[in-house]
Amino acid sequence: MSDTVNVDPSEIAKFSELAHRWWDPDSEFRPLHQINPLRLGWIEGFTPLAGRHVLDVGCGGGILADAMARRGADVLGIDLAARALKVAQLHALEVQTQGVAYREVSVEALAAEMPGRFDVVTCMEMLEHVPDPASVVRACSALVKPGGWVFFSTINRNARAFLLAIVGAEYLLNLLPRGTHEYEKLIRPSELAGWCRSYALDLQATRGLEHNPLTRRYWLSADTRVNYLLATRKAGA
Ligand code: SAH
């Protein structure tokens, strides 16, 4: 697949426009700030990050990439929203995070350039924004070493997810800008697990991410009906 095919320019425009607000914990990115310690802890339950080569796909302003670098990983964050990457780079300079670099490159192009180079690949809250998410899964698999870990998170596709993640978050609670998520692009865990299987990523764990809008708290649970995470491992170690 060529460098520019698997991207929806309107998605990139959305994230670029909001880029200056990325590190404001009370902005549209508040949910990402709030879930960050949860997902970081979850990842570290499978693999240490210190000293590992980590790729963060669709890193945006770098909330997870920066946190992983601060845990001692050597992190490359990639995205196609140039302004978000600028913000990520500026933030790293400002707070003096060591061991993080950012590049504007598609995951498919990087897979051709650096196959099997990473110990850990993370791809969080990104698959639901691309035209061909299976192609991203394939590229993530190509980028990780045999035995390495690939982590995904995204939003399930069902009536409950529609009500909570779209109607609730975007229209009732104004947690996210309207139009952040489109129902048809949401992905069922079975679909994502199927792509992982096709591309030699063995499913190790599935976890739900729940939210109580009244207390504004998030927690991990067995309920994958709305937000969920998958931990997978590349075959052939
Ligand atoms: N992964 C980050 C940001 C999630 S927001 C986090 O969880 O904290 C979704 C990100 O996906 C945005 O930064 C957006 O620019 C990026 N994105 C959307 N389509 C993309 C594509 N085709 N290639 C790379 N990044 C993409």
The preferred substitution site among 7, 79, 209 for testing ligand 1, maximizing ligand atoms within 8 Å of CB, is 79
pLDDT of residue 168: 87
Q: Could you tell me if the CB of 12 is within 6 A of ligand 1?
A: yes
Strands 201-212 and 217-221: antiparallel
Q: Extract the tokens encoding 193.
A: 């697990």
pLDDT of residue 2: 46
List the CATH number of the domain containing 117: 3.40.50.150
* Angle at 109 (CA atoms; ends 107, 110), nearest 5 degrees: 65
Q: Is residue 1 situated within a structural domain?
A: no
Counting Cα atoms < 13 Å in the Cβ hemisphere of 219 gives 6
Summary mean pLDDT of the chain: 95
Q: What is the pLDDT of residues 116-172, one digit of tens each?
A: 999 999 999 999 999 999 999 999 999 999 999 999 999 999 999 999 888 889 888
Please list, residue by residue across 226-237, b when 16 or more beta carbons sit within 10 angstroms of its beta carbon and e when fewer do: bbbbbbbbbeee
Q: Could you tell me if the CB of 74 is within 6 A of ligand 1?
A: no
Q: Could you tell me if the CB of 7 is within 6 A of ligand 1?
A: yes
CA distances from 89 to 74, 167, 186, 196 (A): 15, 33, 29, 31
Q: Which atom of ligand 1 is nearest to the CA of 36?
A: 8
Q: Which atom of ligand 1 is nearest to the CA of 7?
A: 22
Q: Could you tell me if the CB of 124 is within 6 A of ligand 1?
A: yes
Q: What percent of the chain has pLDDT over 70?
A: 98
Amino acid at 129: H
Q: What is the whole-number distance in angstroms between the Cα of residue 94 and the centre of ligand 1?
A: 22
Q: Could you tell me if the CB of 32 is within 6 A of ligand 1?
A: yes
Q: Is residue 224 situated within a structural domain?
A: yes
Q: What percent of the chain has pLDDT over 90?
A: 89
Ramachandran class of 150: left when φ > 0, alpha when ψ lies in -120 to 50, beta otherwise: beta
Q: Could you tell me if the CB of 38 is within 6 A of ligand 1?
A: no
Q: What is the pLDDT of residues 179-233, one digit of tens each?
A: 999 999 999 999 999 999 999 999 999 999 999 988 889 999 999 999 999 999 9
Q: What is the whole-number distance in angstroms between the Cα of residue 126 and the centre of ligand 1?
A: 5
Q: Is residue 86 situated within a structural domain?
A: yes
Q: Is residue 4 situated within a structural domain?
A: no
Q: Could you tell me if the CB of 181 is within 6 A of ligand 1?
A: no
What burial class does residue 37 get, using C-beta atoms within 10 Å of its C-beta: 0-12 exposed, 13-18 middle, 19+ buried? exposed
- Protein residue closest via CA to atom 4 of ligand 1: 125
The preferred substitution site among 83, 100, 126 for testing ligand 1, maximizing ligand atoms within 8 Å of CB, is 126
Q: What range defines the domain where residue 82 resides?
A: 9-234
Per the structure, the count of domains in the chain is 1
Q: Which atom of ligand 1 is nearest to the CA of 122?
A: 1
Give the model's confidence band at 82: pLDDT under 50 very low, under 70 low, under 90 confident, else very high. Answer: very high
Query: CA-CA distance, 118 to 153, in Å (whole number)?
Result: 19
**DSSP letters for 155-174:** E--SHHHIIIIIIIIIIIS-
Give the model's confidence band at 1: pLDDT under 50 very low, under 70 low, under 90 confident, else very high. Answer: very low
Helix (H) and strand (E) counts in the chain: 8, 8
Q: Is residue 3 situated within a structural domain?
A: no
228 sits in which H/E element? strand 227-234
Q: Is residue 2 situated within a structural domain?
A: no
Please list, residue by residue across 116-140, b when 16 or more beta carbons sit within 10 angstroms of its beta carbon and e when fewer do: ebbbbbbbbbbbbbbeebbbbbbbb
Contact between residue 156 and residue 187 where contact means Cβ atoms under 8 Å apart:
yes
Q: Could you tell me if the CB of 126 is within 6 A of ligand 1?
A: yes
Give 3-state DSSP helix, strand, coil % of the chain, rounded to 5.
40, 25, 35
Q: Is residue 78 situated within a structural domain?
A: yes
Q: What is the whole-number distance in angstroms between the Cα of residue 76 and the centre of ligand 1?
A: 14
Mean pLDDT, range 19-34, rounded to an integer? 94
